[in-house]
Chains A and B, each alone.
Chain A
Amino acid sequence: MKTLRTYATRTLLAAGLLFGAVCAQAELAIIAHPGNSLESIDQAEVERIYLGRSRSFPGGGSVKPLDQAPGNDMRDKFFASVLNMTEAQVTGYWSRRMFSGKGTPPDTLADDLAVKARVASDPNSLGYVREDVVDSSVKVLLLIP
């Protein structure tokens, strides 16, 4: 009986933790190649790079921002918290620039791991990923809770 109660309590506790973890949004990490000379970047600069308004890292060096494919959680979060736009607004923004021949949207990769792999291998790239996939192959420049 006691064992059963303990089991039930543990299950509830685990479920509660899991629920909490899902609710507390995963942090968004802005990542660059470990060889990048920057130690941090501010959010406004990330926004400018992703909107094609800036083509270089602050302090120099050309930058290639990487987007994630539609449907990824971190993409929705990135659009909402860094670009301050809905997906439809971002599509409208790039329609104006791309179809006027005045800009190209960032390359799109499949998911967090594909972005991490690209950033780890390309010194000019900038990406956003779920914080918990980050390891020593990339450098975190900014964390967005």
Chain B
Amino acid sequence: MKTRLRTTSAAVLLALGATPVMAVDNIVLNGFMTAGATYTDSDTQWYNGNIRDEIGFEQDSRVGLQVAAQINPKMNVTVQVLGRAREEDYDAFFDWGFVSYTASDAWELRAGKIKFPTFLISDYIEVGYAYPWIRPPQEVYTSNPLTAIAGADALFRTRLGNADLLVQPYVGTSRGQSTVVPQGALEINQTFPPNQQFAFGLPGSVEFVDFEAQNLIGINSSMNWDHFSVRAGYLSIEVSADALGVSQEDAEFWSVGGTMDLNNFIGYAEYFEREIEGGANLGFPNQKGYYATLGYRFGKWMPHITYAKLDENGNPNSCGGANPFPCGEALKQDSITLGVRYELGAGAALKAEAQRVDPEGRGLFTGYDADGNSVLDDAAMIYSVAIDVVF
């Protein structure tokens, strides 16, 4: 591979946003970063332990680098490395990376580790600059803890009337780590299958559970007009989690959503349903949720408001056959978020948000205070500020 520097002025490129920082022949490097702080007045803490009643930086701070290399006119490799303050020591990892083959103007095939396109912004969820909020509405976006797939997908793009259609079928497997907060329901004497070990801690503690998803198959499709877009997605997986004693339980997601950007009004809305059978329901109960966001751009300022709700979705009472597992307890909460985004020139934005969360039960909190007492149903405020950049 040639490593001659392109004649384009690197200094000029450095000065600006989405243009590459460095362009060696056929290799382009870009990056993004978020530095964020959070605080909540709640006695309990956020489900993953990263938003507490003291100023914390773990929840949102992260940095990513993307390298794209052209192998030949039809093939490219794109890789993203991510380091999050949520991981110890900002440990960086390959978030995703794939080789793509452009078969025609309409078809592109990709294989490797692909970002999971569960919802509207899932495939750029780490890039805060690319969306209005500091965190996309958690009532929807926490519902699929898997963020990448080892597998393959196809992107089919075509023009339909005056819209651009994208159809993206994908297949693969996935491994992930999910935060599970042991629930009060587990305290009462449940009969688990014999010889099953539960690596669960005390109710209210934050536990990390490794799990796998096999036979993952899904489709993501969207239509884009000049000022509007709509999106629909469906996926089916088999979930296994040793810590929960769960093996190949069926799970299904479906979702619909849309966006708007018209006369300085911006809008986002999404709805999803999740259904999980058998023992996996314990850690991932049936849920549904939705949100709607409306914002207005005044020059560099964009104030916005979001209403979001997470609810049960006909969760079953019994979750197993011969050795019935306990079902999980659906999480319920709603929230209103007022936020503002300020453009610090192209490629940088400053954001501030105040969110009032009203859980029914524990919602997306751990549900326990620092002394181990159950704290349920208490409305809480979460305050966040962040700077997002792309380079």
Measured between beta carbons, the chain A residues less than 8 angstroms from B123 are 100-102
Interface 9-residue window, one of A31-39, A104-112, A129-137: A104-112
Check: B355 CB closer than 8 A to any chain A CB: no
Of the candidates B30, B121, B155, B224, which one forms a contact with A98 in the assembled complex, judged by CB atoms under 8 Å apart? Answer: B30
Decide if A70 touches B115 in the complex (CB within 8 Å). no
- For A100, the chain B residues whose CB sits under 8 A away are 115, 123-124
A10 at the interface (CB under 8 A from B): no
Q: Say whether B390 faces chain A, with CB atoms less than 8 Å apart.
A: yes
Interface size on A, residues (CB 8 A): 27
Given contacts A90-B346, A91-B390, A99-B124, contact A69 B129 (CB under 8 A): no
Say whether B115 contacts A69, CB under 8 Å: no
User: A105–B115 contact, CB under 8 A?
Assistant: no
A108 to B6, CA, bound (A): 11
Q: Given the known inter-chain contacts A70-B12, A91-B18, A94-B18, please indicate yes or no for A99 contacting B127, CB distance below 8 A.
A: yes
Say if the beta carbon of A88 comes within 8 Å of chain B.
Answer: yes
Contact residue among A54, A102, A110 (Cβ-Cβ distance under 8 Å from B9): A110
B346 near A99 with CB under 8 A, answer no
A101/B78 in contact, CB under 8 A? yes
Q: Which residues of B contact A104 (CB under 8 A)?
A: 28, 68
B214 interface residue per 8 A CB criterion = no
A102 to chain B: which residues have CB within 8 Å? 123, 155
Would you call B124 and A95 a contact (CB within 8 A)? yes
In whole angstroms, what is the CA distance A104 to B78 when docked? 11
> How far is the CB of B165 from the nearest CB of chain A, in Å?
11
B59: chain A residues within 8 A (beta carbon): none
Q: Which residue of B lies closest to A104 (CB)?
A: B68
Segment 141-194 of B: residues with Cβ below 8 Å from A: 155, 159, 164
- With an 8 A cutoff between CB atoms, is B219 at the interface? no
Residues of B within 8 A of A71 (CB): 12, 15
B16 within 8 A of A: yes
**Cβ contact within 8 Å between A108 and B127:** no
CB < 8 Å neighbour of A108 from B13, B131, B224, B300 = B13
Verify if B72 is at the interface (C-beta below 8 Å from A). no
Q: How far is the CA of A88 from the CA of B229 in the complex (A)?
A: 20
Contact A98-B9, Cβ < 8 Å, known A70-B346, A91-B347, A104-B68? no
The CA-CA distance from A95 to B346 in the complex, in Å, is 11
A11 to chain B, nearest CB (A): 37
| A96 and B105 in contact, given A91-B18, A102-B155, A105-B19 (Cβ under 8 angstroms) | no
- Min CB distance B377 to A, Å, is 38
Given A71-B12, A91-B347, A91-B390, the answer on whether A99 and B155 have CB atoms closer than 8 Å is: no
- A96 touching B345, Cβ below 8 Å: no
| A56 and chain B: residue at smallest CB distance | B105
Q: Does B47 contact A (CB under 8 A)?
A: no
**Residue B365, interface by CB 8 Å:** no
Query: In the assembled complex, how far is the CB of residue A4 from the closest CB belonging to chain B, in whole angstroms?
Result: 46
The residues of B that contact A54 with a CB separation of less than 8 Å are: 159
Which residues from 79 to 105 on chain A have a C-beta closer than 8 Å to any C-beta of chain B?
87-88, 90-92, 94-96, 98-102, 104-105
A75 → chain B, closest Cβ, in Å? 11
B17 at the binding interface (Cβ < 8 Å): yes
Q: Are B8 and A108 in contact (CB under 8 A)?
A: yes
Contacts of B32 in A (CB 8 A): 95, 99
- Considering only CB atoms, which chain B residue lies closest to A108 in the complex? B19
Additional A-B contacts beyond A70-B19, A98-B66, A101-B110 (19; CB < 8 A): A53-B164, A62-B105, A67-B19, A69-B13, A70-B16, A71-B12, A88-B345, A88-B346, A95-B129, A96-B121, A98-B18, A99-B32, A99-B64, A101-B78, A101-B96, A101-B114, A104-B28, A108-B19, A110-B8
Show 5 residue pairs from A and B whose CB-CB distance is below 8 angstroms, ordered by the A residue.
Answer: A55-B105, A91-B17, A91-B347, A96-B130, A108-B13
| Closest 4 A/B residue pairs (Cβ) | A91-B17, A100-B123, A94-B18, A95-B130
A residues with a Cβ closer than 8 A to B are 53-56, 62, 67, 69-71, 87-88, 90-92, 94-96, 98-102, 104-105, 108-110
